[in-house]
Structure 1
Amino acid sequence: MSEFVYPPVIKTALGVFKALNIKIRLEGTDRIPADGGAVLVSNHVSYLDFIFAGLSAHPAGRLVRFMAKKEIFDNRIGGPLMRGMHHIPVDRDAGASSYAAALKALKGGEIVGVFAEATISRSFTIKDIKNGAVRMAVASKTPLIPIAIWGPQRLWTKGRKRRLLQRNVPVTILVGEPLYPKRGDDYDQVTRDLRAQMEELLEKAQREYTDIPKPGETWWQPSYLGGTAPTPEEAEKLDLEEAEARKAARDAAHDGKGTEG
């Protein structure tokens, strides 16, 4: 597979991080296999997570193929980059094809990155996750590797203004112990075990984070640590309201097309 796009993108990102003095803490990267397929499962706190999650595999000399929503691939700027890096588009109306593409990549020895929460967590805690990542790992006979990311939400997250040029923001990336699910296992139980590991990693990253929010900046800290981010219950309500608003907009657009002419 040709790699004309991905390496320069990584090099550029690292250069930008250096210029902005983004201090990256990487831990547990020896758990990323040097070869062969693996399912990398990350939490989701920002729109930049695929960049930082991908860095977890960088010390092993690996590239991660992320599953990302189709809309990103439709973007005139992001689309060519995503395709050039051989990421995997996820069309929620045609999920089987995305799953098949991910399995093909895994069986071909690639690392596939998954944000199992599906959307950014407004509470900055781990949302409920489905068992899709576990099923992929079982079907491809590959390990399931949990990771936790903390810090990128300060640069760009849901409901907040982008601050991409903010300097001196620490970013923590922790890689957990791999899980090796197999056919016949209780996939829902393995998913609960995976989520528990991710929660443990994320809490470790949050509690050991070197920065403390300044007055007026507590929005990026979870409520359980005294921050003003929504609680998980409040975040769930906001997500539901957003989903209902999007559905209403889609329905209105569809009805509009249906009455044209």
Structure 2
Amino acid sequence: MSDLVYPPVIALARTMFRLLDLRITIEGAEHIPATGGAVLASNHVSYLDFIFCGLAARPSRRLVRFMAKQEIFAHRIGGPLMRGMHHIPVDREAGLSSYRAALAALTAGEVVGVFPEATISQSFTVKEHKSGASRMAASAGVPLVPMAVWGTQRLWTKGRPRTLTRRHTPISIVVGEPLRPARRDNQTEVGAELHNRMSALLDRAQRDYPDSPAGPDDRWWLPAHLGGTAPAPSELAGEEEGA
């Protein structure tokens, strides 16, 4: 697969990160295989998560093909970039074609990135999700790698103004040990285990995060169970579809 667009986009992003002096830490990158297909499954707290999740694959010299909603591909600027990087559009009205495209990429040895929650979690916890990621990995016979990102919500998340010029923001990326689901496995149970592992990774990233709110008005980016003012998951039931 020809990649004329992806490397320059990565180079531009890394330049911006340096200019902003973002304090990016990546743990567990060795869990992303250097060869062959794999599914990366991450939590979702920001519109920028796919950029930072992709950084975790750089030590393995992999380019991640992310599954993203069709609307992004229709954007006059974002669309050509997404297609040039060979990301995979997800049409919620025709989900089977997206699933087949992802399987084709996996069987061709690509790394496919997914956000099993489908939408941004405004509670900044891991929302319940379906077993699509585990089914995909099982069908393609590839590892399912859980991961978590934290701090990206401070740059751009749903319901908050963009602060893309914010300097010195810590960004934490934590990759966990792969699951290896098989077709014979109960994929609902595998999906539950994936959720548990993603939650544990997120808890770890939040616990070890090197920054704290600057004051009472800055607690919006922390989940309620950590003393933040983000809404609790129970307050958001049924309200986050389409984010």
Structure 2 residue 238 is matched with structure 1 residue 231:
no
* 1:206-246 residue CA offsets vs partner (Å, 9 max, x unmatched): 01100001111100001111000000111225326xx6xx9
Structure 2 residue 19 is matched with structure 1 residue 10:
no
TM-score normalised over the length of structure 2 = 0.98
Structure 2 residue 64 is matched with structure 1 residue 64:
yes
**Secondary structure, in 3 states, of the residue corresponding to 2:123?**
coil
* Aligned-partner Cα distance in 1 for 2:106–2:176: 19
Structure 2 residue 36 is matched with structure 1 residue 45:
no
* Aligned-partner Cα distance in 2 for 1:4–1:55: 18
Q: If you compute each CA radius of gyration, which structure gives the higher value, 1 or 2?
A: 1
User: Structure 1 stretches (4+) deviating beyond 3 angstroms?
Assistant: none
* 1:66-99 residue CA offsets vs partner (Å, 9 max, x unmatched): 0000000000000000000000000000001000
* Aligned-partner Cα distance in 1 for 2:46–2:235: 18
Identity %: 60
Contact 1:88 1:102 in 2 (8 A): yes
**Secondary structure, in 3 states, of the residue corresponding to 1:217?**
helix
- Tell me by how many angstroms 1:175 deviates: 0.3
Corresponding position of 1:205: 205
Corresponding position of 2:219: 218
**Paired AA for residue 5 in structure 2:** V
TM-score normalised over the length of structure 1 = 0.91
* Aligned-partner Cα distance in 2 for 1:178–1:32: 8
* 1:93-141 residue CA offsets vs partner (Å, 9 max, x unmatched): 0001000000000000000000000000000000001000011001100
**Paired AA for residue 6 in structure 2:** Y
Corresponding position of 2:192: 192
**Secondary structure, in 3 states, of the residue corresponding to 2:240?**
helix
RMSD across aligned C-alpha pairs, in angstroms?
1.1
* Aligned-partner Cα distance in 2 for 1:136–1:24: 30
**Secondary structure, in 3 states, of the residue corresponding to 2:66?**
strand
Stretches of structure 2 lacking an aligned partner (at least 5 in a row): none
Contact 1:121 1:235 in 2 (8 A): no
Q: How does 1:65-144 map to 2 (within 5 A)?
A: 65-144=65-144
Q: How does 1:128-167 map to 2 (within 5 A)?
A: 128-167=128-167
- Tell me by how many angstroms 1:184 deviates: 1.2
Structure (1 or 2) with the greater helix fraction: 1
**Paired AA for residue 163 in structure 2:** R
Stretches of structure 1 lacking an aligned partner (at least 5 in a row): 247-261
**Secondary structure, in 3 states, of the residue corresponding to 1:14?**
helix
* Aligned-partner Cα distance in 2 for 1:109–1:101: 13
**Secondary structure, in 3 states, of the residue corresponding to 1:82?**
helix
**Paired AA for residue 143 in structure 2:** P
Q: How does 1:174-185 map to 2 (within 5 A)?
A: 174-185=174-185
Contact 2:120 2:240 in 1 (8 A): no
* Aligned-partner Cα distance in 2 for 1:112–1:101: 10
* Aligned-partner Cα distance in 1 for 2:224–2:70: 32
